[in-house]
Amino acid sequence: MCILRSLLMALSVFMVGAAATTARAADNFPSKPLRYIVPFAPGGATDLVGRLIGEQLSGKLGQQVVVENRSGAGGLIGTRFVAHSPPDGYTMVGVTFNYLVYPVLFTNPGIDILKDLAPVTQIVTYPSILVVPTNSPYKSVKDLVEDAKKNPGKLTYATSGVGTASHIAGELLNRDAGIKITHVPYRGGGPANIDVIAGHVTMHFANLGSSIQYIRGGQLRPLAVATAKRLPGFPDVPTMEESGFPDFLVNEFQGVLVPAATPPAIVARLNKEIVGILRTPEMQEKFESMGGQLVASSPAEFAAFIKSDSAKWTAVAKDAGIKPLE
């Protein structure tokens, strides 16, 4: 009995000490520069938003926030890097839609999306918009589909990576239209848009945040939006449903995660500062100009979103015939 009592007392002292250490770490946070990992190439919407947040977060926290691109495997390389980083709040990752379907994309992704990373906030959502180069012969989705049926495998579609919203949308179009347009994955939306503009790829279900400048600049022609209603900024662009594809709804999102065991007080601090940045009139105007809808959620709200939407989209990905990469 004495031995058991001693063990319990030792455990109690250890737990109190650990709690005190965690509290001190949260009180002193941050005491050194932070890293914001963008798991895609520069130039896409995830990169642009990460740099916007990183710049202002540096001022809020009094420490530099270094934005670092670690692209590859549809964002998995950079995301896995953060999942395996020390859980101290100093390393964040900006995730997108493809995070939800890693269980379908990879036989062994090396992370559990519901357990290995802690949600900080969902930043924004963007509609997907089907675009072609301005010199493309296609003036509508119908034109594109008819040509694809005549020339199986000849047409191509760019994506910002395997498993991204643009990939899911492309495979849904293949399935629903009974066609075969060949997938050409890139390391982000920026490079994908550039090659579509250059005519190297036929089309792209682009994230509106990364493509809006090219649409407004006359370099990309929008054929349809994957939303329930037409977009206020593009009233002449029909929805995919109006183009003959009911229930064709694919939206991109962005959010911030940290390693799972990060102290709740540090997660709360990051959420407070990032949400405060997002809700400023300047940032809201910036997101609206990029075609995005601000979310700025709590960690719990973002966690609920990830759980519900990962179940939904993994089922869609399987139904669309997307196969694991490894």
Domain hosting residue 215, numbered range: 127-225
Within 10 angstroms of residue 70's Cβ, the number of other Cβ atoms is: 18
pLDDT at 19: 46
* DSSP code at position 137: S
The 10s digit of each residue's pLDDT in 120-144 is 999 999 899 999 999 999 999 999 9
pLDDT at 18: 45
pLDDT at 324: 78
Total domain count, the chain: 2
Is residue 12 assigned to a domain? no
Do 216 and 147 have their domain in common?
Answer: yes
Residue 201: CATH number of its domain: 3.40.190.10
Half-sphere exposure of 153 toward its Cβ, with a 13 Å CA cutoff? 0
Contact between 288 and 125 under an 8 Å Cβ cutoff? The reply is no
Decide the pairing of beta strands 117-133 and 182-185: unpaired
Q: 206, 225, 244 — which closes off a domain?
A: 225
Do 89 and 135 have their domain in common?
Answer: no
Do 117 and 131 have their domain in common?
Answer: no
Would you say residue 296 has pLDDT above 80?
Answer: yes
pLDDT at 243: 97
Contact between 67 and 54 under an 8 Å Cβ cutoff? The reply is yes
Half-sphere exposure of 172 toward its Cβ, with a 13 Å CA cutoff? 25
The 10s digit of each residue's pLDDT in 13-51 is 555 454 444 455 577 899 999 999 999 888 888 898 999
Do 90 and 45 have their domain in common?
Answer: yes
Is residue 89 assigned to a domain? yes
Do 100 and 163 have their domain in common?
Answer: no
Is residue 198 assigned to a domain? yes
Is residue 47 assigned to a domain? yes
Do 221 and 152 have their domain in common?
Answer: yes
Q: Which residue has the higher pLDDT, 206 or 187?
A: 206
Would you say residue 4 has pLDDT above 80?
Answer: no
Would you say residue 85 has pLDDT above 60?
Answer: yes
pLDDT at 11: 55
The amino acid occupying position 195 is D
Is residue 231 assigned to a domain? no
Is residue 151 assigned to a domain? yes
Q: Which of 298, 293, 250 is nearest to 274 (CA)?
A: 298
